[in-house]
Structure 1
């Protein structure tokens, strides 16, 4: 059984007892979260697609920890002008353990 869920404007395919690295969410580690924007549910071949969401369906999870992604280096240069700019960025994510999918 899996579901397609919208979390913070992005869509994720989630299954029970798996981790999802979602964009940074509010809450402490160990807090439970619910996602009610379920776009699709597949229950062993029985697929139900929402228009735009499946009514009464929700996904529950637990925040495991807040982490940062890998560093992305931004480098800009204009040749023969002496212009060089180097910058870095690490995106914040929340690691969520999916506890259950209900309809």
Structure 2
């Protein structure tokens, strides 16, 4: 059984006991979260597609920790002008354990 869930504007294919690195969400480690925007559910080949969401479907999970992604280097340069700028960025993520998919 799997589901496609919309978490903070991004879609994830999730199954039970799977880890998902979702965009940063408020809450402490150990807190439980529930996602109501379930777009699709597949239960042993029986696929149910929502319009836009599946009615009565929920995905519950637990926040494990808040982490940062890999560093991305942003480098800007204009040739022959003496202009160089180097910057780095690390995106914040929340590691979520999917505990249950309910239809």
Asked if Structure 1 and Structure 2 have the same fold, meaning a TM-score greater than 0.5 normalized by the shorter chain, the answer is yes
Q: Distance in 2 between matches of 1:81 and 1:43?
A: 60
Provide the aligned length of Structure 1 versus Structure 2.
103
Look up the match of 2:24. 24
Q: What are structure 1's unaligned runs of at least 5 residues? A: none
Q: Distance in 2 between matches of 1:43 and 1:91?
A: 34
TM-score computed with the length of structure 2 as normaliser? 0.99
List per-residue Cα deviations over 1:26-55 (Å, max 9, x = no partner).
100000000000000000110000000000
Look up the match of 1:88. 88
Aligned residues: CA RMSD: 0.3
Q: What are structure 2's unaligned runs of at least 5 residues? A: none
Runs of 4+ aligned residues of structure 1 deviating over 2 Å after TM superposition are none
TM-score computed with the length of structure 1 as normaliser? 0.99
SS in 1 for 2:48: strand
Report matched runs for 1:12-91 at 5 Å.
Answer: 12-91=12-91
